[in-house]
Amino acid sequence: LMTWVILASFFVGSIHSQQSGTAVSIDGAQIYYKTFGKGQPLLIINGGPGMNSDGFEGLAVSLSEHFMTIIYDQRGTGKSALQVLDKTTITMDLMLSDVESIRKHLGFNTWSILGHSFGGMVASAYATVYPDHIDKIVLSSSGGINLKLLDYFRESLHSKLTATQLDSVNYWEGKIAAGATDHYTRLQRGKYLAPAYVMDPQYYPVIAERLTQGNGTINQLMWDDLRKQNFDCASKLKSFDRPVLIIQGKQDIVRASTAEEAHKAFQNSRIVYMDHCIHYGWLDNPEVYFREVVKFLL
């Protein structure tokens, strides 16, 4: 069966950006970005790995009422296409260089970062390499500062589903594992998997559609790279003293233990747990999510 670990995010949004362009990363990769609003810069790093930023315009626009928000397509996805996808082009180190290339391209000395899900892992790693360029960090349902998530993610995901939903997920994943690549098959998998990600049924269709867009090659290459390097940011974060907000659902597929480890590693951090919320605070509990995030960043 397919074993992708996708820490993605979803939101309906088709609003035009204020500015878009490309930044050139350290290896020559063209990294596509969009900005919204004005004010203090806030980079939003979406989930994945292997997902573009299309599902994040809504979040970026909402937060652009207070900040200049920036979203970008992670390398190999969307408009940040790569000619070759292999272990030399899909690494965490290169993803951090991509982020830094955007900062330099836009001319910011410092900026804040909101990393959601897998994006929270990228944000945490960025803090170990470029701490002097960070004002504040929001870890939104973050995948954590190490790889312990992989020990429980699939079990946690499946625990949110009914027996019927899980049977259906397994059926359609079996089809995909056997070579089915058509949109309908992937959409059926997403349809039955959506309730594991968000409580509000109105968002099931957009989540199901978003789940069809994941790039399995990038997903596998990134997790392989993180396993190879035994990804763990804890020791390098001991000296990081900028403010950090850790926010996630009480019913999140990311366990509280993952948030607590990040809280312990970041000396200047606090945790907010949102009730009636799985993995997407701005969908399941928008009042608390936006109140806490905006208050923290202002």
pLDDT at 11 over 80: no
pLDDT score recorded for residue 14: 46
3-state secondary structure the chain: CCCCCCECCCCCCCCCCCEEEEEECCCCCEEEEEEECCCCEEEEECCECCCCCHHHHHHHHHHCCCCEEEEECCCCCCCCCCCCCCCCCCCHHHHHHHHHHHHHHHCCCCEEEEEECHHHHHHHHHHHHCHHHEEEEEEECCCCCECCHHHHHHHHHHHCCCHHHHHHHHHHHHHHHCCCCCHHHHHHHHHHHHHHCCCCHHHHHHHHHHHCCCCHHHHHHHHHHHHHCCCECCHHHCCCCCCEEEEEECCCCCCHHHHHHHHHHCCCEEEEEECCCCCCHHHHCHHHHHHHHHHHHC
pLDDT at 102 over 50: yes
| Mean pLDDT confidence for 59-73 | 96
pLDDT at 181 over 80: yes
pLDDT score recorded for residue 144: 97
pLDDT at 2 over 70: no
Q: Provide the pLDDT confidence category of residue 1 given band limits of 50, 70 and 90.
A: very low
- pTM recorded for the entire structure: 0.94
pLDDT tens digits, one per residue of 249-279: 999 999 999 999 999 999 999 999 999 999 9
| Mean pLDDT confidence for 234-241 | 95
pLDDT at 177 over 50: yes
pLDDT at 98 over 70: yes
pLDDT score recorded for residue 213: 85
pLDDT score recorded for residue 13: 46
